[in-house]
Amino acid sequence: MARDTLTGSRIRERRIILGMKQAELARRAEISASYLNLIEHNRRRIGGKLLLDLAEILGVEPSVLTEGAEAALIASLREAALHASEAGAEMDRLDEFAGRFPGWARLLAGSRARVETLERSVAALSDRLAHDPHLADALHEMLSTVTSIRSTASILAEPGEIDPEWRRRFHRNIYEDSARLAETSRSIASYLEAEDKAAAESGTPQEEVDKLLEGMDYHVAAIDAGHPPESVAGRIGAQLSLAGRGLLVRVLTRYAADAAAMPLAQVLGAVARTGTDPLALAQRFGTDPARAMRRLASLPPDAPCGQVGLAICDASGVFLFRKPLPDFPIPRFGADCPLWPLFAALSRPMSVLSRVLLSAGRQSGSVTAIAFAQPSGPPQINREPVFEAHMMIAQGQWRSGDEPEEVGVTCRICPRAACPARREPSLLGEPGGV
């Protein structure tokens, strides 16, 4: 029932609260008891002078009878009552409570909202503690040190003498533990500050990881040396945000699987003979071309085959990994050139596409791009596979007969005329804008 049709119910509630008989209220309002009964059961609308008279007799503002308490306030109170159902709040008298004690009602609703906010914060912090190994380790260390200090200090504070040798040891232990505690606290504080700083300075977790890998020339020697991805991520990604570190663990876990399937020393030996041909490498190691491309892109900068670039995108075209080359930049965000074979590969999964590409408007040489798309996980019954595409870029033209294709980086800076894939006009004044 709509709230403005409950005026009669509110009159009845208010009368009962005051302990007034229906007949008495009817008499004082100069109406019949049967008419008041119809009003109180919302079967007669009420307004004008009669409403004013009844409000005056009942000692409330007329609006309290016609409007009741604010709907949002009632809803908040109802929610508070449902969250603490064991308290046995009188749900059928919510209107009355909010109407008679609006200040208390607002206080209660406000407290409930605050509890909810705090509960969310606690859940977020607990989640962070559970999933951030560095923070969990540091807090564990801190609690262990506090336990030691508390236990030792209690022994020293007890009445009665203890052996001087034990006393000396316990004093020394407390001293050592307090120094450790100070160090751990400082480390947690600087870690949390770095966390905020990292999050503020870099945009997305993907950008953080891109920047980190770029700084390492895309080669993570510790993984090639067999160290576990989690511990390497904890060490090299200590300055990343929580989400950035999570992403880094994923990237390094894949790196580690690639390194296990294609050990570095053997790959270096193979590329000295075959160069950067991912198909030859894949065949040599009995693996897929995508893994071979990733492995080639993660070789140390002084590898005999030279550097290759790599772009990996998911089925929506969003980059999951980007290693540009000086002659072949890869935009940071997803507004790249649709002519790249990376995207064509998505429509022809499991086929290896090879193209010679020329960067439109750049005075650079051609590059060879090899693209390949495959499902990103194992097959599942009655589930469509989710594809991801790899495109490796190597300097030069591998086969002399291939006609180079002119591609861009992104439409805004691409001068290519009459491009069938153009999304927006070029800033360079390309005549055939959209």
Partner 1 sequence: MTKRVMLIEDEPNIIEAIGFILSREGLTVDTHSDGTTANDKLRANRPDVLILDVMLPGKSGYDILRELRDDAATADLPVLMLTARGQSRDRETAERAGVSAFMTKPFSNAEMLDQVRRLLASAPRV
**Applying CB under 8 A, which residues contact partner 1?**
126, 130, 136, 139-140, 143-148, 150-152, 154-155, 166, 169-170, 173, 176-177
Closest C-alpha among 294, 298, 320 to residue 204: 320
Q: Which is nearer to partner 1, 107 or 129 (CB)?
A: 129
Q: Which is nearer to partner 1, 145 or 359 (CB)?
A: 145
Cα–Cα–Cα angle for 101, 106, 109, nearest 5°?
Answer: 125
- Minimum distance from CB of 121 to partner 1 (Å)? 16
Count Cβ atoms within 10 A of the Cβ of residue 239 and give its class: 0-12 exposed, 13-18 middle, 19 or more buried.
middle
- Minimum distance from CB of 169 to partner 1 (Å)? 7
DSSP class of residue 101 equals: -
Q: Which is nearer to partner 1, 170 or 398 (CB)?
A: 170
DSSP class of residue 398 equals: S
Closest C-alpha among 223, 386, 385, 372 to residue 288: 372
- Minimum distance from CB of 142 to partner 1 (Å)? 8
Q: Which is nearer to partner 1, 127 or 201 (CB)?
A: 127
Q: Do residues 327 and 407 touch, judged by C-beta distance below 8 A? A: no
- Token readout for 45 is 């609308």
- Token readout for 301 is 């900068």
- Alpha carbon dihedral 200, 201, 203, 206, in 10-degree steps, equals -110
Type and span of the H or E element at 355: strand 353-359
- Minimum distance from CB of 256 to partner 1 (Å)? 22
- Minimum distance from CB of 231 to partner 1 (Å)? 14
Q: Do residues 22 and 16 touch, judged by C-beta distance below 8 A? A: no
Q: Which is nearer to partner 1, 4 or 176 (CB)?
A: 176
- Minimum distance from CB of 129 to partner 1 (Å)? 8
Burial pattern 260-283, b for ≥16 Cβ within 10 A else e, equals eebebeebeebbeeebbbbebbbe
Q: Which is nearer to partner 1, 114 or 172 (CB)?
A: 172
Q: Which is nearer to partner 1, 174 or 413 (CB)?
A: 174
> What distance in Å separates the CA atoms of residue 88 and residue 109, rounded to the nearest whole number?
16
- Minimum distance from CB of 227 to partner 1 (Å)? 17
